[in-house]
Amino acid sequence: MHRRVNRTFGGFSLKFSLLEHPRDASSSGTDAGINSSDDLLIVLFHCAAGVLSSSTQVATIYPQDPALSIGSSLTATCSVNPDHGVHAGSLYWTLNGKRLPSSTYSILSPTVISVTLPRLSGSRQRSGDNLVCHNSGGHVLAGSCIYVGMPPEKPVNLTCWSRNTKDLTCRWAPGGQGETFIKTKYTLKYKLRWYGREKECEDYSAGEPYTCYIPRDLALFTPYEIWVEASNQLGTATSDVIYLDILDVVTTDPPTDVTVSRVGDLEDQLTVRWGTPPALKDFLFQAKYQIRYRLEESSDWKVVHDVGNQTSCRLAGLQPGTVYFVQVRCNPVGILGSRKAGIWSDWSHPTAASTPHSERLLTGSCDSKVGQQNSTLRRDLKQFFGWVRKHAYGCSGMSIKLYDQWRVWLQKSHKTRNQVLQGDKS
């Protein structure tokens, strides 16, 4: 049977789980400590500085809960209360549950034993390493937490964005290698520039590390000063201060009602349409959009960068009879007169559509002479309109109309020629 026990030894809080054998259940149990290895299932140490100490201390460890830099050495002492008649020579030390060799001990007096730990490595757990003093029977007499790590370096890459001008989210990265080996606290601070009162961001539960969320009470048209402070037991560091106006870092929700449809029987084109972000419908701004699309069996996206502020676009040069996935995103440029570009929204959910199958691939032609006569013209037209599409960034109304006319004419010519050939065969 498992039994949870909480004990306090001097300045050391110990929690452990005992496995009680049937022979022990009937005996008069005590909570004096861990009496033998037969009773012990798991021992979990939890360092807690400043816990209440007992008035009947068996022993004390000095220093208590020290913080040390990596590579440092530590000499700790365990002083036994002389009233208990325990000789220092009978004591031993453990670190994180592992017994330390007696060669690291020194008997300083009948009641004091020391241990020396050279060239310490970073703590194995952020809550500290557990240095414990035991008597010969294995009882825990006292304990201390050792925090071995590095002071934090200056946080870097601080960036912030506001969703629809309503809030502010900031993210940063720890400086240097990022690993300090001991618990390091990061605090995002901000204030209105020139006259504001310093405030601290309180919501760090955004689900991502090094991120803080300010949900409300933000001023518009006034710049903020924002920075991050990192601190642990070995030191503090402060990031560079960034200055921003909420209106300059606005992002929004992805475009809504994205639809993708065919363009008649044109086998290499699709039309994409979408709605403006509803959260910004009452704001004065000029949206900028981007489209990306990919083949169903591919993970590589192609991006149409310069769609402008229109809410539809024609994709050309696609493969016939192929399923495409399409997404759209929005950038609220110049919101409420801001002179800076906004921040791109997330991409909309993928919308799928397929291009028509090519009739030329299905019917074919047996008139090689006609094909030879038109091959040069088709090649020249393909090169010309490819150049037009490239320089029109995929969404120019005039170039697409010309291209549509040529494609319709070309398809009709193929249909007419195939009908004539089939009539001749009959």
Cα angle for residues 47, 53, 58 (degrees, 5° grid): 95
Domain boundaries, the chain: 2-148, 156-249, 253-357, 363-425
Q: Is the pLDDT of residue 90 over 90?
A: yes
Q: Per-residue pLDDT averaged across 77-95, rounded? A: 93
User: Considering the entire predicted model, what is its pTM?
Assistant: 0.66
* Distance, CA of 94 to CA of 99 (rounded, Å): 4
Give the closest residue to 211 by CA, choosing from 247, 158, 165, 254: 158
Structure tokens at 227: 């920075």
pLDDT band at 156 (very low <50, low <70, confident <90, very high): very high
Distances (CA, A) of 322 to 71, 267, 353: 62, 9, 8
Q: Is the pLDDT of residue 16 over 50?
A: no
CATH class of 156-249: mainly beta
| Torsion region of 338: left, alpha or beta (phi above 0 gives left; psi -120 to 50 gives alpha) | beta
Better-scored residue on pLDDT, 282 or 316: 316
Distances (CA, A) of 312 to 63, 89, 395, 402: 70, 85, 9, 18
Q: Is the pLDDT of residue 393 over 70?
A: no
Q: Is the pLDDT of residue 24 over 80?
A: no
341-362 tens-digit pLDDT: 889 999 999 999 999 988 654 4
* Distance, CA of 236 to CA of 229 (rounded, Å): 7
* Residue 176: predicted pLDDT: 86
Residues belonging to the chain: 426
User: What integer best gives the mean pLDDT of the chain?
Assistant: 79
pLDDT band at 14 (very low <50, low <70, confident <90, very high): very low
CATH topology of domain 253-357: Immunoglobulin-like (2.60.40)
Q: Is the pLDDT of residue 149 over 70?
A: yes
CATH topology of domain 2-148: Immunoglobulin-like (2.60.40)
Residue located via tokens 């010519």: 413
Q: Is the pLDDT of residue 218 over 50?
A: yes
Which range, 5-14, 23-32, 305-314, is most confident?
Answer: 305-314
